[in-house]
A = this chain, B = another copy of it.
Amino acid sequence: MVSTTLAATSFSLLRNYNANVRAFAANVRAPLQHSTNYNSINFLLPLHSRRSLSRVSVTNDEEAAAKAAALNAGSEAPTIFDKIIAKEIPSSIVYEDEKVLAFRDINPQAPVHVLIIPKFRDGLTTLAKAEARHGDILGHLLCASKIVAEKEGILDGFRVVINNGPGACQSVYHLHLHVLGGRQLKWPPG
């Protein structure tokens, strides 16, 4: 489904390479992607970064990257998701409305693997920041996960996952729901 290089690429690592991406993207006009996979970010990475990414395992990537990302967890700084929302970085969009955006994970863990994010983060760097006032957007995100599952044809078998903090492999500090399906999902869930 994805190349070896892509399989080792995660949003978290991309976050760490943000400065490189910015510098590189300024000089590159990304072609429009017709693939169903969200695979444009890799194109934006300098070759040396792609090579270094491909040398580590995905699992260790996620844990290590989550730990690295957590160093700035308290920050309200923009993340790579802001660029995706702004369409400054192309993504394979599955669903969109005025409140949320759903797009394919660049490092899919199942035949269907979609991320759903609120367009306005509103302090929700992570679910741990949720307050009663966030009830509406949180409910909307879960309703969106059903819509995404329906669109992807996995309504009879899908899992929604929300990671919070390094202990759960959260690698981007903008709340996001993972929607996975298209294969038998195992137990325990990680």
For A58, the chain B residues whose CB sits under 8 A away are 187
For A145, the chain B residues whose CB sits under 8 A away are 127
For A188, the chain B residues whose CB sits under 8 A away are 109-110, 180, 190
Alpha-carbon gap, A155 to B169, bound state (A):
13
Could you tell me if B143 and A128 are in contact, using CB atoms closer than 8 angstroms? no
For A28, the chain B residues whose CB sits under 8 A away are none
A75 → chain B closest CB, angstroms: 15
Binds B, one of A13-21, A79-87, A160-168: A160-168
Which of A63, A131, A159, A183 has most chain B Cβ within 10 Å?
A159
Alpha-carbon gap, A134 to B145, bound state (A):
13
* Residue A50 is within 8 A (CB to CB) of chain B in the complex: no
Which of A160, A162, A164 has most chain B Cβ within 10 Å?
A164
**29 A-B contact pairs sorted by A residue (CB < 8 Å):** A59-B186, A62-B187, A109-B187, A127-B145, A127-B149, A128-B146, A130-B146, A135-B136, A135-B140, A135-B142, A136-B139, A138-B138, A138-B139, A139-B139, A154-B167, A156-B166, A156-B167, A158-B164, A158-B167, A159-B161, A159-B190, A160-B160, A160-B161, A167-B181, A167-B184, A180-B188, A185-B190, A186-B190, A189-B189
Could you tell me if A168 and B157 are in contact, using CB atoms closer than 8 angstroms? yes
